[in-house]
A and B are shown apart, each in its own frame.
Chain A
Amino acid sequence: MRRSDLGEFEELVLLSVAVLTPSAYSVAVAEHLELQTGKTITTGAVHSALQRLEKKGYLESAMGEASKARGGRRKRLFTVTMLGSKMLHSVKDIRDNLWSSMGPQSLPNLSTN
C-alpha cells in the first residue's frame, strides 16, 4: 500500500472521523481538528478531504438529520470503512515500529532546561 494514498491532512481527518463516530460530519471534524491543532480549519478544506477519502473508499457516508442551526438542511455523516480502518492501522503500525526501533539519543532533546 503506497504511502501517497493518504495525505497528512487526510490522515488527520480520517482519524477525527473515527474519533467522532457516529456523529462525524464536516463541521464537527473541522472543529475537532481546530481544537487539536490550534489552527484555523475551514469546513471547505475538511469537506473536500472527506470527499476525497470517500472516493478512495476509506469513508462512507449517509445523510443525517436536519437541525435548526442548519436552516433545516441535513448533514452528511461519515463512518470509516473497513479499508479505511486497515489503512489507519497500517500507518499506525509503521509509525509504532519506527518509534520503537529508535535509539535513546536519536532525537535531539526537546526539554532544554
Chain B
Amino acid sequence: MKNTPPKWMDRIIEWICPDHLLEEVIGDLHERYLSSENPKAQFRANGRYFREVLYYARVTAFRRKNKSKPSTYFYTMLNHYLLTARRNLFRNKAFSFINVMGLALGITSFLLIMLWVNDERSIDNFHENQKNLYSLYVTKELQGEVTGNYYISEYEFYNDFANNPRTFADELKPVFPEIKYISSYATTYELPWGYPTTFRIGDVSHKLKGAIAGGDFFKMFSYDIIIGDGENALTEINSVVISEYMASLYFDSPQEAIGQTIRYENTRDLIIKAVFKNVDAKSSLKFDYLISWENLKDNTGVTSDNKWPTFIQLKENVNPIEFEKKLAKYHEPFYNENFGKLTLGIQPYGDRYLKSGFENGKPVKGRIEYVRIFSGVAVFILIIACINFTNLTTARSLKRAKEVGVRKVIGSTKSYLMGQFLGESIFLTTIATGLSLVAVNLVLPAFNAFTDKAMYLPFDSLKGWLFIFGLILTAGFLSGCYPALFLSSLKPSKVLKGLTRFTRSAQLLRKGLAVFQFSLSILLLIATLVVSKQTSYIKNANLGYDKENVIYVRVEGDLVEKYKIFKQALLTKPGIAMVDRSSEAPHDMGFEIAGPFIWEGMEEGRQMSFKPTSVGYDFLKMMNLEVVDGRGFDKNVPTDSAAFMINETALAEMGLESPLGKRISAWDKQGRIIGILKDYHTHSLHEPIKPLIVDVKEDLTFGIIMIKSLPGQTTTALRSLEEVSAEINPNYPLNYQFMDLEYAALYKNEQVISSLSNVFAVLAILISCLGLLGLAMFSAEQRIKEIGIRKVLGASVSSIIGLFSKDFIQLVGLSFIIAMPISLYLMQEWLASFAYRIALSWWIFALTGVLALLIAFGTVAYQTFKAAKTNPIDNLRVE
C-alpha cells in the first residue's frame, strides 16, 4: 500500500485552501491519513480523507479574505515583474522581435479584415426605422425552374405591356393594413444598366446619377434633408429632390435651389423641392437626385424598363412572418401558366446589401459569403500568430526554468507565477497591438482607396475601445496560457538541477501546434493561388469579341435623329477606326425575354427566352465576332434589314437542324436566319452564355454608339469624339465609357478578393515562417554542443543541416497532407459560383507543397547553417 493519499485529492486541497494555511493543512491531512487504524483498508482511508478534504471547502470558503498581504508588496512585486519582463525582452532580442512582430503582423491583418467586415455589415443599417424596413422580392416558378429577384415587373403578372404602369406601392397598400409606408425605387433605366442623366439650368449642364422614388421614400429612410419639405417633396408630379453636391453645381447655396426649375434630359422641367445631405458610403442606394414617382405614372416623363425594387415599412406591432405568409398568397389569382407562378416575399432591408444573391428563389447569397470567408481568414491569421507566440515562448521557457525554480523556492505560489507569465504575454500583446494600430493607421488610406470605402479606426467609440481591449486580452490569454501553465508547474527540485529537455507531451503539443499553424497557412496559400488563377482567367478569357480600344456613348438627345451624320463626321476625324451601334453593350446584355418568338419548325406551346440585340451593319466586324455558319449582315442586301442572326447557344436550344433560311417572327419583325454567330460571353463569367438573337436596326431611339480608336490613339480619338459631340449634340455633356474598363468592373468583387487574399496569404505564410524561424533558432541553440561534437568528429556542414531540417520538413509535410483535402473542398465550393472556371489542377497543390517545403527548409537551414559554421571550440569550451 502506498502511504500517501491520492494526488488528486491533494490538488483539490491546494486549490481550495488559502496559501498561508496550505502547509499546516496538508500536513495535518497527511498525518491523519497515515494514522488510520487499519493501514490495509486503503479504500476506507481514502474515503475518509476525501471527506476531510471536502470539509475544507466549507471552512475556507469564507476564510479566504483572511489572507492579508500588505498592499505595498503588491506594487513591489508588480515592479519586479515588469523589470523581469523587460530584462527578458531585451536579453533575447531576436526571440522578442520575432514574437512581437509576429503578433503585430497577425493583429494588423486581423484588425484590417475586421474593419472591412464591420463596414460591410454596417451598410444600410443606419436608418431609424431599421427594424420595420423590408424589401420586397419575388420568387418565380416556371416549368420547375425557381428564380428570384428584387425587380418586379408588372407585365409578368398581368401579361400585358401596360401603358399605364401600376406599381406594387399602388397595388399593395390598400390591401394590406400592416403596411405603414411603401415606396418603389427605380434608377433611371431605359435599359437595364443605369446611366447618368442630364440636368440643365441655362448654360450649365451636368450628368448625374439618380433615381425615381415614391412619395413615402423620405418618411421611411433616414437621409438627412438640409432644406425643404423632404417628407412631402416626392408626392407631386414634376418635383425633384437633389443632393447638396448637385445643388452646388448649379447654385451658390442649397437655400437658393428650393423652388427653382431644372431641365431634365432636355425634355421636361422639374421643380426642386428639397436638398438632402450627400448620400454616404453607408448607403447601398446611391443617388444625387430623386424624381417623384408621379412622373413615371404620367408616362410622358421619365422612362423606365418597368422593373423596380419596392421597399416597405411595416407598422410597429406587425409580425413580419405572419405578414409574409399573407403576402405570399396575394398573387394566386393572377397565376398564369405562360409566366409561371409568382410568390412575394420580404427581406429585412438591412440584409439586402449582403444577401442580394438568390438561391432557390430566396435571397441568401451574395457578399455575405465574402464576409464569412474573410471573418474566417481573420480569425485564422490571429490564431496562427498566437500559436507562434505560444510555441516560441514555450521553447524559450527552458531558459527561464531556473527563474521559476528560484521564485518557487523563495515562496512564490503557482497562481502568482501564472499571473506573472500571463501578465507578460498580455504586456507583449499590448505592445504588439499598439504597433498594429500604428500600422493599420498607416495603411488604412491605401486600404480604403483599394476597397472603395471610408473606414477608420474606432477610437471615438467606447465599443471600439472595448473591442481593442478585448482583443488584447483574448490574444494575450490565447498565446500566453499554455506557457504560463507549463512554466508555473515546473518543480523547483528538478528545475534547479538543470532542466534540459521537454517532456514528450510538451514536445508533441508544440509540434501539433506548428502543424496546425502551417496547415492553415498552406490552406491560405492554395486558396490564393486558385483565386488569383481564376481571376486572371476571367480577365484574359477569350470572350469571343474584341473589347480593346472601344469607347462607347449613349444614344441620347440629338443623336437619336442624327446618328448617321454623327457617324460620318466621326469617321473623318483622326484616331477613329470604326463607328457602329448596338442596343446593348456586349458584356452587359440586359433583357432576357420569353416574348412572342416563333420560328419555323417550333413545337407547339414551346417557351424560350432570348436576349434580343439590335446592331448596326458594321457591328460584327468591329467586335471581331466570328460567323460559324452562313454570313453576317450586309448593307448591300436589302432584305438584311429584316434578317436575323442567332448564336450557337440559341441554335442548340431551338433544336434546329438546318437553321439557315428559316423564318423567325420576333415581336414586330419577321425575317429569316442568315447566319450563326459563334458564342460570345454575354455577361460576366459568373453566368453561362444565353441564347441571343441579333437583328439590324440603325434607327433605334436608344442604345449605345461604339467608337473604335486606332491602336495607341485613344487620346486623339477622344478629342475627335468631344468635338463632334459638342457640334451635333450640344445640349448633352459627353459621357463616355471604355469597354475594357467596364468589363473589368464586372469583377470588382473578385479583384478585391483576389488582391486581399494575396496580401493576407503572404502575411500568414510570413507569420508562420517567423514561428518556424524561432523554433529553428531555438533548436540550433539547444543543440549547439551536439553540433560542435559532430563537427569535431568529422560531420560536414551539409550533413548537419540535413539532420536538423528533417524534423521540420516532416512537420511541414504533415501540414500539407492535412491542408490539401480541406482546401480542395473549399476551393471547389468557391469555384462553383462561376459558370466558367479553371480546373483545379494537381500542380497548384504540388506547387504549394514544394513552396511550403522550400520556405520551411530555407528558414531552418539558414539557422542551422549559422550554427554549424561556428567554430566548435567556442561552443565546447565551456562546461
- Cross-chain contact A74 with B23 (CB below 8 angstroms): yes
Cross-interface CB contact of A71 among B4, B32, B52, B53, cutoff 8 Å? B4
Q: Which residue of A lies closest to B51 (CB)?
A: A42
The reply to whether the CB of A32 lies closer than 8 angstroms to some CB of chain B is no
Query: Is B27 among interface residues, defined by CB-CB distance under 8 A?
Result: yes
Q: In the docked arrangement, what's the CA distance between A51 and B24, Å?
A: 12
**Inter-subunit contact A43/B35 (CB<8 Å):** no
Nearest-Cβ distance from residue A82 to partner chain B, whole angstroms = 24
Q: Which residues of B contact A70 (CB under 8 A)?
A: 27-28, 30-31
Given contacts A43-B52, A45-B55, A48-B63, contact A67 B31 (CB under 8 A): yes
The CA of A42 and the CA of B28, in the complex, are separated in Å by 10
User: Chain B nearest CB: distance from A4 CB in Å?
Assistant: 18
Chain A hits for B30, CB < 8 A: 69-71, 73
Q: Do A43 and B32 form a contact, CB below 8 Å, given A48-B59, A51-B63, A71-B4?
A: yes
Residue in B31, B58, B59 whose beta carbon sits within 8 Å of that of A69 in the complex: B31
Q: How far is the CA of A76 from the CA of B24 in the complex (A)?
A: 6
Within the complex, the shortest CB–CB distance from B26 to chain A, in Å, comes to 6
Q: A43-B32, A44-B59 are in contact. Are A73 and B23 (CB under 8 A)?
A: yes
Contacts A69-B34, A71-B4, A74-B23 given: A43-B28 contact, CB under 8 Å? Answer: yes
Decide if B577 is an interface residue (CB 8 Å cutoff): no
Given contacts A25-B28, A71-B26, A71-B30, contact A42 B55 (CB under 8 A): yes
Task: Mark A60-104 against chain B: 1 for CB-CB distance below 8 A, else 0.
Answer: 000100110111011110000000000000000000000000000
Expressed in whole angstroms, the minimum distance between the Cβ of B162 and any Cβ of chain A is 89
Q: How far is the CB of A90 from chain B (nearest CB, A)?
A: 28
Q: How far is the CA of A74 from the CA of B23 in the complex (A)?
A: 7
Q: Is A27 an interface residue (CB 8 A)?
A: yes
Is A31 interfacial (CB-CB < 8 Å)? yes
| Pair A75/B24 contact, Cβ less than 8 Å | yes
B contact residues around A44 at 8 Å (CB): 52-53, 55-56, 58-59
In the bound complex, what is the Cα–Cα distance between A71 and B7 (angstroms)?
Answer: 13
The size of the chain B interface, using a CB distance under 8 A, is: 21
* Given A42-B52, A44-B59, A45-B55: A30 and B32 interface contact (C-beta under 8 Å): yes
Q: A27-B35, A42-B51 are in contact. Are A47 and B4 (CB under 8 A)?
A: no
Beta-carbon contact of A69 and B26 below 8 Å: no
Residues of B within 8 A of A47 (CB): 24-25, 28, 56, 59
In the complex with contacts A42-B55, A44-B56, A31-B35 CB distance below 8 A: yes
Q: What per-residue 1/0 map shows which CB atoms of A7-35 lie under 8 Å from chain B? A: 00000000000000000011100110000
Within 8 Å CB of B471, what residues of A?
none
Listed residue (B28, B29, B32, B51) with the most chain A CB atoms within 10 angstroms of its CB: B28
- Which bracket fits the contact residues of A? 20 to 34
A73 to B56, CA, bound (A): 18
- Contact residues, B50-68 vs A (CB, 8 A): 51-53, 55-56, 58-59, 63
Taking the closest CB of chain B, its distance from the CB of A5, in whole angstroms, is: 19
**Cα separation A25 to B31 with both chains bound (whole Å):** 12
A45 to B24, CA, bound (A): 14
- Residues of A near B59 (CB, < 8 A) are 44-45, 47-48
Q: In the complex, are the beta carbons of A74 and B52 less than 8 A apart?
A: no
A51 to B25, CA, bound (A): 12
- A74–B24 touching, CB < 8 Å: yes
Proximity string of chain B (15-44) to chain A, C-beta cutoff 8 Å, 1 when within and 0 when not: 000000001111111111011000000000
Contact residues of B between 380 and 410, Cβ < 8 Å to A? none
Min Cβ gap B21→A in Å is 8
User: Measured between C-beta atoms, what is the minimum distance from B37 to chain A in Å?
Assistant: 11
A27 and B55 in contact, given A48-B63, A69-B34 (Cβ under 8 angstroms): no
Report the separation of the CA atoms of residues A27 and B27 in the bound assembly, to the nearest whole angstrom. 9
With contacts A48-B59, A69-B35 taken as known, whether A43 is within 8 angstroms of B29 at the C-beta atoms is yes
Q: Kindly list chain A residues whose C-beta atoms are within 8 Å of the C-beta of B24.
A: 25-26, 47, 63, 73-76
Q: Which residues of A contact B56 (CB under 8 A)?
A: 44, 47
Q: Please report the C-alpha to C-alpha distance between residue A42 and residue B25 in the assembled complex, in whole angstroms.
A: 12
Residues of A within 8 A of B26 (CB): 71, 73
Nearest Cβ on chain B to A97's Cβ, whole angstroms: 35
Question: From residue A70, how far is it (CB to closest CB) to chain B in Å?
Answer: 4
Please name all residues of chain B whose beta carbon is closer than 8 Å to the beta carbon of A71 when the two chains form the complex. Answer: 4, 26-27, 30
Find the A residue at minimum CB distance from B13: A44
Residues of A within 8 A of B23 (CB): 73-74
Interface residues of chain A, those whose CB is within 8 Å of chain B, are 25-27, 30-31, 42-45, 47-48, 51, 63, 66-67, 69-71, 73-76
**Besides A27-B32, A67-B31, A71-B4, 5 new A-B residue pairs in contact (Cβ under 8 A), listed by A number:** A43-B55, A71-B27, A73-B26, A73-B30, A75-B24
22 inter-chain pairs at a CB distance below 8 angstroms, sorted by A residue, are A25-B28, A27-B32, A31-B35, A42-B51, A42-B55, A43-B55, A44-B52, A44-B53, A44-B56, A44-B58, A44-B59, A47-B28, A47-B59, A48-B59, A48-B63, A67-B31, A69-B34, A69-B35, A70-B27, A70-B31, A71-B4, A71-B30
5 closest A-B pairs (Cβ-Cβ)?
Answer: A44-B55, A73-B27, A70-B27, A48-B59, A76-B24
